[in-house]
Amino acid sequence: MASPEIEALTQALARLPGLGPRSARRAVLHLLKKREAALGPLRAALEAVDERLETCATCGNVDTANPCAICADPRRDQRSLCVVEEVADLWALERSRLFPGRFHVLGGRLSALEGIRPEDLAIDALVTRIEAGGIDEVVLAMNATLEGQTTAHYLADRIERFPVRVTQLAHGLPVGGELDYLDEGTLAQALRARRPV
Amino acid sequence: MASPEIEALTQALARLPGLGPRSARRAVLHLLKKREAALGPLRAALEAVDERLETCATCGNVDTANPCAICADPRRDQRSLCVVEEVADLWALERSRLFPGRFHVLGGRLSALEGIRPEDLAIDALVTRIEAGGIDEVVLAMNATLEGQTTAHYLADRIERFPVRVTQLAHGLPVGGELDYLDEGTLAQALRARRPV
């Protein structure tokens, strides 16, 4: 019988996506065997993330500064706004270094199945940003999934009344694919060929 | 591009067995999305393990006390010692609540392939414990692998000169096992060790 501390750590790890109870137990044993090399660094990394990272009040990115480095960067194109579902999608686009503007993270996608409604996402905040003016183009960079595309259409409807060009990533994305898993070449194609909705 | 804190956490998680770079990234995103429900508890659990747990100097178990709760328990049979490869094996036996004695954790198994020699395991400490006297039986509870069995034979040779009974876990059909699905090695062992009904 392991101690309560070990049980608690096993359960906390088992709740991570990709780990179950058995692999969490293996991970805990690994951490206990390599306290210096594995447990220490993981603990320090978690502490740093927990203490230093905050969510950007403007765009929803996660960074050490608020507003985040992207929002605060004067060299970024202020007239161009890219809307993504998750922070991971923002990172994927940033890795490709192709989008010169700023971002808006919705925090998910509309989903009847999961009961995620417009008010559960940062959509009002997006409308407020566009309403404030100074934006020429809104790129809807949703995942090419049914729910992502539904979300894009809903957003296009909500944004229609503003004098901005609304575009979406070209269908170079494989159907069913998610941004985070795409190679940069495909991402580049999709961004370059973006079209009006 | 994620912040250095996030990259560090991703790398620390990716080094856990069962997680790779991609699943570590997913796990980090999950932690960032559920800071209260997931990141906080995981951080607290890691801290508790790191700060409160130590390795029992007697048996090699991991516990909040040193000597551990098992070694310190006067109701455990002091005359019976069970030798296991890893702490996980000790926990598995404790879950079964069947072994009344105490334990000795080797910290691995002999392995020519991985270059693990007798002096890399807690074998001298085991010999010292037996030499000190008061032990009647040593149960060698190694894994039923080639390396586990090699280790058991090596230990049996080292312990031979002491007046203790040396036993090992029986090999045979696992409970619920079907003949048709068993490997020949297990079948051979089960047949060789057959007993009167």
- Cβ neighbours of B87 in A, within 8 Å: 29, 32
Q: B4-14 and B21-33 are packed helices; what angle lies between their axes, rounded to 10 degrees? A: 120
Tens-place pLDDT, residues A39-66:
999 999 999 999 999 999 999 999 999 9
User: What is the pLDDT at residue B1?
Assistant: 60
How many angstroms separate the CA atoms of A47 and B40, rounded?
9
Write out pLDDT tens, residues A88-147: 899 888 888 889 999 999 999 999 999 999 999 999 999 999 999 999 999 999 987 889
With beta carbons under 8 A apart, name residues in chain A contacting B53: 3, 5-6, 32
In this structure, which CATH number among 1.10.8.420, 3.30.390.50, 1.10.760.10, 3.40.640.10 belongs to the domain A4-52?
A: 1.10.8.420
A62-196: in CATH 3.40.1360.10: yes
Residue with tokens 């096993």: A10
On chain A, the residues whose CB falls within 8 A of the CB of B32 are 49, 53, 62, 87
Question: What pLDDT, in 10s, does the model give residues B47-82?
Answer: 999 999 999 999 999 999 999 999 999 999 999 999
Within 8 A by CB and 6+ apart from A12, the residues are B38, B41, B42, B45, B46
Distance (Å, rounded) from C-alpha A60 to C-alpha B167? Answer: 62
| Residue of B30, B35, B39, B43 to mutate, interface with A, max A Cβ within 10 Å | B43
Nearest CB to A91 within list B2, B53, B88: B2
> Cβ(A115)–Cβ(B57) under 8 Å?
no
ipTM of the complex as predicted: 0.76
Of B124, B115, B55, the C-alpha closest to B86 is B55
For chain B, percent of residues with pLDDT exceeding 70: 99
Give the distance from residue B5's alpha carbon to the nearest chain A alpha carbon, in angstroms. 6
Rounded distance, CA B103 to CA B125, Å? 12
| CA–CA min distance B195, chain A (Å) | 32
CA of A151 vs chain B CAs: smallest distance (Å): 20
Asked if B45 lies within 8 A of A8 by C-beta distance, the reply is yes
Q: Burial-class residue A14 by CB neighbours within 10 Å (0-12, 13-18, 19+).
A: middle
Among chain A residues, CA nearest to B9: A45
Q: Where are the domains of chain B?
A: 4-52, 62-168
Radius of gyration of chain A measured on its C-alpha atoms: 20
Task: Name which of B28, B45, B87 is nearest A9 (Cβ-Cβ).
Answer: B45
SS (H, E, C) B103-123: EEECCCCCECCCCECHHHCCH
**Tokens read off for A36:** 């210096």
Q: Out of 3.40.50.880, 3.40.50.9100, 3.40.1360.10, 3.30.365.10, select the CATH number for domain B62-168.
A: 3.40.1360.10
The token pair at B41 is 């508890």
d(CA B5, CA B11): 10
Binary contact (B46, A39; C-beta < 8 A): yes
